[in-house]
Amino acid sequence: MNRRFSLVDQLVISLDRGLKTLVPGSASPRRNSPADHYGEALLDDSPRHTTGLMRINHTGEVCAQALYHGQALTAKDPAVRAAMQHSADEEIDHLAWCEQRLNELGSHTSRLNPLFYAASFTLGAVAGTLGDRISLGFVAATEEQVCKHLQDHLEQLPPEDGKSRAILQQMLADESAHASKAIEAGGQDFAPGVKDLMTLASKVMTGSTYYI
């Protein structure tokens, strides 16, 4: 029998999920990192660029967690709410893998993560109130944006960095599947103009978290 949570209960759960997303070392992956199969390569002149790319990808996963958490809070259909949380659980792996890789590279996650989490949570909650079709469509469009970033980053990574490449390749496969599932579940396929605006907004995140 499924327990019905009050609004206060749901807010407390959301706060707990937010802290687990933002506090370093709190994400516990269910799958081993794809990078575990590779040795560390000597990255001559590119470690800084690689860490910048991995920091962007980590923040992207922070935003994804926040988006799903916000949508789960306001989704009207319990099945959609459960699906949102299931997707968030799957992407915890990505969050942990990116953080682990940043630690291996001697770097850190973005200091702007709390700001981006709050903004993404708000967007997710608003999308949820507009209806499940819009909410699922927003998930699909967001995942499409993430896939584009991942494809671009794979082209920029040094060929010898097998660890980072393995992580991004698995993330790309997972994100593409999430986008397809959201559309298959009834999500609206947004117009190109809406997706262009989302691309513009994502540039704010990528441009800032690369350095900070």
> Mean pLDDT lowest for which of 64-68, 85-89, 138-142?
85-89
* Distance spanning both ends of the chain, measured CA to CA: 46
pLDDT of 27 strictly over 70: yes
E strand or H helix at 160, and its extent? Answer: none
**Would you say 153 and 124 are in contact if contact means Cβ atoms under 8 Å apart?**
no
Q: Give residue limits of the domains in the chain.
A: 44-209
Query: In the CATH scheme, what architecture does the domain 44-209 have?
Result: Up-down Bundle (1.20)
- Segment 133-152 mean pLDDT: 82
- Segment 150-173 mean pLDDT: 89
* pLDDT given at position 45: 55
- Segment 130-157 mean pLDDT: 83
Token look-up 């070392």 returns 25
* pLDDT given at position 14: 66
pLDDT in tens, 77-94: 777 667 666 777 777 889
pLDDT in tens, 54-65: 899 899 888 888
* pLDDT given at position 1: 41
58 labeled part of a ligand binding site: no
Residue type, 104: E
61 labeled part of a ligand binding site: yes
Token look-up 């060929």 returns 159
178 labeled part of a ligand binding site: yes
pTM value is 0.82
The helix/strand/coil state of 210 is: coil
- Segment 178-190 mean pLDDT: 74
> Which of 65-69, 116-120, 127-131, 191-195 reaches the highest mean pLDDT?
116-120
* pLDDT given at position 13: 67
Q: Which tokens go with 20? A: 């687990």
143 labeled part of a ligand binding site: yes
